[in-house]
Chain A
Amino acid sequence: MSATDLPTFTDEERAGQEERLRKVWTTPSGWRYWTSVNNTEIGLWYGAAAFIFMLFAGLLGLMVRVQLAVPDNSFISADLFNQAFTLHGTIMMFLFAVPIFEAIAVYLLPSMLGTRELPFPRLSAFGFWSFAIGGVFVCGSIFFNAAPNTGWFMYPPLATDKEYSGIGADIWLLGLSFIEVASIAAAVELIVGIMKCRAPGMRINMMPLFAWYLLIVAGMILFAFPPLIAGDILFEMERMFDWPFFDAARGGDPLLWQHLFWIFGHPEVYIIFLPAIAIMAMVVPTFSQRPIVGYSWIVLAAVGTGFLSFGLWVHHMFATGLPQMSLAFFSAASEAVAIPTGVQIFVFIATMLAGRVIFSVPMLFGAGGLAIFVIGGLTGVMVALVPFDWQAHDTYFIVAHLHYVLIGGMLFPVVAGIYYYYPLLDGKKLSDRFGKVAFWLMFVGFNVAFFPMHFSGLRGMPRRVFTYPAGIGWDWFNMISTIGAFVFAFGVGVVVIDVVRPKRKQPRCEQNPWNAGTLEFISEPEEKWGVRSVPIITSRYPAWDQPDLIANMKAGRYYLPDSPMGERETLVTTVLDARPVQCLRVGGTSIVTMVAAAALGGVFIALTFHWWWITIACAIVTLGAILTWLWTGTAIIPETQDYDVGLGLKLPVYASGPDSVGWWAMFITMVGDGTAYASLIFGYFFYWTIHEDFTGGHAGPGAFWPMAALVLFVLAWLLMLAARSLNKANRIRATQGVLVLSTVLTVAGCGAGLAGPYLYSMDPTLFVYPAIVWVVAIWTVVHGAVAVIMQLYCLARSLSGRMTARYDMDLVNVVLYWHFMVITAVTSFAVIGLFPLLR
């Protein structure tokens, strides 16, 4: 569309539009500020919280270093040391490295994609509050001497030993499960946002690389976190109710936890690393003053890294005694991942070579990080080779390797990102001088701290030792490491000072201070609407290639320049070619998300202390808050079918099925849910493979009740399909009747599902077989219970006239849930009912 076709508004019209937009998107003041759901606030809080957790974990790291500075030191006790290193790793991984990217993504993506908001702002807020509550809970535990003390990997049977780990392990399991919920919520938000909410014309091959990376990472979260959640469930059942999943004496196996943990844990490394590369993929083209060289190369490499990262987990288990054949396979896969990583590095170098580089602070941190990361990558190639890993595994060589990878591959790029994107916060640049001082302190301090660890590791120093004897060749290396750690910490301190120092007197910088080619700098700190109007994009670097684009956007000459109905609106576009298909009204400021997060936090915290009644009370409040949130904020029947979004385009405000973002969110959530379920089934068959007779002579649930449950769930699903068709045919009464019938069958199916293990008196504390059968049955029945709530919700929506033949999003999404439900039920009941017969 050429500029002449764009509408022109008078100053008066524009002022009116801006006033209405401002009113709709305003952030409340006073304490209500904290009820905001706007992406810029949530992103800022999220990032600040993650950064504060990082500083806290850094202090714990310094404590560890002080204790190890000299041999036979008694600076802190063995027990406190064990809590400190466990919490250091746990916080850095779960409360900093992953959330900081969710934060940056929530903050940047809308303006980068040329849109107003992500599709579910309240979900972002819910995720943030869950994260904050869970994070404070986990961090705070160390002040009560109750922090987890078994290492961030929580290997049973040490971590299942209640006498040793106290409630620390429960805090880890429940506190982090809560945070994992937040991560998955963010993943859903980011995937749907990137796929469905780009500016019109921004085809998928024109997306900024940051969006590509975040899409891949969010997809990885969706497949990596659920196995850990499944593992957490098994673990907590063992700790709370003595179900012997990891107890070898009763048929369990500690190695199952290691598999589930590292199926999560290795992709986790790339979940952390890829978004940092994403920042560099934005920084490098800007400072090379040219588009990236090899856009498709880097996208393919990122996708390849994402895939491969799921095939490497066994390299954390090379010393567990697995067969050498499988070790060789995982060794090869681990080496292979170096190739796409190399491609990404060379894409940056190529871009710099083909451009004219301006070397400023973000580039300094980027290049310094790369120099560090490459060392980590090379030692990674070394430890991926089995014979070398047998020697290096669980020594300080690995400590050095992982810090080179994570600090070079993640922390330095994040600091680069802070210097690069800070102007978005308040229109001021951070100081060049502070930045350079911070860089050199961090760079030198880091290498002084961590390079000697390669040597102490090669000299046989194992990880996680709270002390060591003098005179066995580790003394000096440790002393040097400790000195380096403090220099490094000073460097981080300088960054903190630069960020928090008052900048009132400092002049404002230009709006696009580095002359970036992408759109994120369009967002102004004072205006909460993200983009003034939603543009039409025709280039990968619109700010360079589309002259007048920004001026026209600001003049409101594109889509959605106004908000006549007083709603927060943004465009939904198609996945591949970004054609506008819907005007989406997103949720605004609300306290309901905070209440839901606080109540869900209450559930997890009360569970830790076995306060059952409080758990139940909090669960009821959570459910109530979520239902209120859905009832008042989603699937609202709009005032009009066709809504004028500007430029002569009329779009529906209400969509259901695959056109709607809600459908995608349900689909994506259920993919994650299905992955957790698959991990449980993996556990079932894992026990089958390690035992001659995996029932251990214990009775199964019989075939009758599981089969009855299977049939009931299938019937209930068929009725849900019927309900959807009847509703579409506008036969409202029949729909309601069928919904009731389906609900009854679901309840009956749940009862039958539990009847098998119950009537055959399967005691889950005796042996692992009854325990895993119970877990599979309970998982399915809990999903059945959720299905019942959804069915009743649809019924209530229909009865209250909020769901009609045309506006049927609720029912369509619930039927989508049911597709997954029926797969789960059929698999579960076939496995627990029929599989024992085949053994």
Chain B
Amino acid sequence: MHHLFIVMVIGGAIIWALTIGVLAYAGRTRPKPMSVRGASRLIVWGGVAFPVIVLFLLLSYAVWLMPQVRPWLPGAMDGTAEIEVTGEQFWWRILYLDQAGKPAFETANELHLPVGRRTTFRLKAADVIHSFWIPALGGKMDMIPGRDNTLSLEPTKAGIYRGPCAEFCGTSHALMAFSVVVMEEADYLAWRAARTQAPVAPQKTSGQELFFRHGCAACHAIAGTPAIGRIGPDLTAVGERQTLAAGTLSNTPDSMIRFIRDPASIKPGVKMPAFGMLPDGDIEAISAWLGGLK
């Protein structure tokens, strides 16, 4: 893929320079015009023969590359996958699946992947068309209501990457991104195991109490608590995520407070209502509690 790009850029630059060079030469005043036969020969060689050969070679190379970039894995045929990602306006619902393809645990807006191993995704859309894309890891795939798409990616380097939504999906399309944490296989398995185990109830604070009293649990779920709302993003371990509000804010207590107070001012078109009517202390307590969820 990388080679293909290099070949194309260098080849393209040479072809451009040659074509424009000939054009510039043709535009000069020359002592004697070329014969019509010579000029016609240029059409045949430059306009027909050369492009046919170059394009044939290039196309063969690219078609040969296709199954390597996107292998036809068993998952692509029978729909088995490790992770199901659903695009929603304007965030990502992420469902990790177990060996049998049953839901293992849910999270949102942050993927954890093992390095050096191919992971298969099942891609869905809840409302409108979105597109799942991690530029650093490979090409994109649309998420289309009514269709399940499959994509597999193989990260080669551990690190943290950003994935934007690549299909225009409404007012805050620009503010719909997710983080990808690529980990060593062992770390990944540990992370996964921690999530899959029976969740530990988080420490009880006034923040937790306020979270339930103000109805946050109607939309948000947090493993280990009675919060099982499914309208908004799952907030289990939200404190350890790279970002808040689907790649929009850095994960700081201040951001959390701002978002709870007036989500639409940060993310126009978001479905979450504003909670600016709550006392500042309540919002701070809720934020502190959420920020502590790890």
Contacts and interface: CB of A to CB of B under 8 A. Distances in A.
Which of A332, A379, A390 counts the most B-chain CB atoms under 10 A from its CB? A390
Contacts of A353: 22, 25-26, 33-34, 38-39, 42
Nearest to A337: B55
A435 B174 CA distance: 39
B48 A339 contact: yes
Contact of A321 (B4, B69, B138, B147): B147
Nearest to B169: A158
Interface stretch (A249-257, A410-418, A510-518, A799-807): A249-257
Interface string B17-29: 0011011111111
Given A254-B129, A354-B36, A388 B8 contact: yes
B20 A355 contact: no
B141 interface: yes
B70 A390 contact: yes
A382 interface: yes
Interface in B137-174: 138-142, 144-147, 149-150, 162, 164-174
B129 A155 contact: yes
B43 A460 contact: no
A387 B22 contact: no
Given A321-B149, A381-B12, A391 B48 contact: no
Nearest to A359: B27
A338 B55 CA distance: 9
Contacts of A374: 15-16, 19-20
B173 A394 contact: no
Q: How large is the interface on B (under 10, 10 to 19, 20 to 34, 35 or more residues)?
A: 35 or more
Contact of A465 (B128, B133, B173): B173
Looking at chain A's contact residues, the main secondary structure is helix
B69 A394 contact: no
B171 A164 contact: yes
A161 B128 contact: yes
A204 interface: no
A344 B51 CA distance: 12
Contacts of A248: 144-147
A321 B139 contact: no
Contact of B129 (A158, A336, A375, A462): A158
B63 A331 contact: yes
Contacts of B46: 342, 346, 349
Contacts of B141: 319, 321, 390
B20 A350 contact: no
Nearest to B268: A78
A394 B164 CA distance: 11
Contact of A472 (B29, B35, B43, B162): B162
Given A335-B55, A387-B66, A319 B142 contact: yes
Contact of B55 (A254, A363, A381, A389): A381
A460 B20 CA distance: 30
A89 to B, nearest CB: 11
Nearest to A297: B43
Contact of B147 (A255, A327, A355): A255
B12 to A, nearest CB: 4
A387 B4 contact: yes
B5 A394 contact: no
Contacts of B252: none
B1 interface: yes
A332 B52 CA distance: 11
A259 to B, nearest CB: 13
B47 A345 contact: yes
Given A78-B172, A331-B59, A356-B33, A349 B42 contact: yes
A342 B47 contact: yes
A463 interface: yes
A339 B51 contact: yes
B62 interface: yes
A79 interface: yes
A328 interface: yes
B138 A352 contact: no
Contacts of B164: 460, 462, 465
Nearest to B146: A248
Given A151-B168, A319-B131, A465-B173, A350 B23 contact: no
Contact of B59 (A335, A344, A390): A335
B135 interface: yes
Interface string A424-466: 0000000000000000000000000000000000011011111
B133 A462 contact: yes
B245 to A, nearest CB: 12
B65 interface: yes
Interface in A292-350: 293-294, 297, 301, 319-321, 324, 327-328, 331-332, 335-336, 338-339, 342-347, 349-350
B51 A332 contact: no
B2 to A, nearest CB: 10
B127 interface: yes
Given A164-B269, A346-B46, A367-B23, 8 more contacts: A157-B128, A158-B168, A248-B145, A332-B59, A353-B33, A371-B20, A375-B12, A381-B8
19 contacts: A78-B269, A164-B170, A164-B171, A252-B146, A293-B39, A320-B142, A324-B70, A328-B66, A331-B62, A331-B63, A336-B55, A352-B26, A352-B27, A353-B26, A354-B36, A390-B69, A390-B139, A459-B135, A462-B165
